[in-house]
Amino acid sequence: SYELTQPPSVSVSPGQTASITCSGYKLGDKYASWYQQRPGQSPVLVIYQDSQRPSGIPERFSGSNSGNTATLTISGTQAMDEADYYCQAWDSSTAVVFGGGTKLTVL
């Protein structure tokens, strides 16, 4: 079955850029989405179709997807961005797969 791999944790200083990767076989051929989940809350979609931001998501969130890796980038990271982040892939044969999640710590 298809798998997506994320680093368990990423740390970033306030105001700096955080990058969270998601790896999977030929992931670039699929659509990647990213979700933010704060403790005790439901996930929130922050990126879809590799690089699109839903309305209401700050511009500091951006995404890319090529080859075997999708990347979520948070520019000018704020304390409120501290959360778990999950990547998710979709294609017509796999349907839906989630990555294992990355805990973002803003130090």
Partner 1 sequence: QITLKESGPTLVKPTQTLTLTCTFSGFSLSTSGVGVGWIRQPPGKALEWLALIYWNDDKRYSPSLKSRLTITKDTSKNQVVLTMTNMDPVDTATYYCAHSPSPTMGGFDYWGQGTLVTVSS
Contacts with partner 1 by CB under 8 A lie at 1, 30-33, 35, 37, 42-45, 48-49, 54, 86, 88-90, 92, 95-101
Q: How far is the CB of 68 from partner 1 (least distance, A)?
A: 17
E-assigned strand segments in the chain: 9-12, 18-23, 31-37, 44-47, 61-66, 69-74, 83-91, 95-98, 102-106
Whose Cβ is closer to partner 1: residue 8's or residue 59's? 8
Q: How far is the CB of 14 from partner 1 (least distance, A)?
A: 26
Whose Cβ is closer to partner 1: residue 5's or residue 68's? 5
Structure tokens at 82: 């501290």
User: Which string of b and e fits 79-89 if b means at least 16 CB within 10 Å?
Assistant: eebbbbbbbbb
Whose Cβ is closer to partner 1: residue 31's or residue 64's? 31
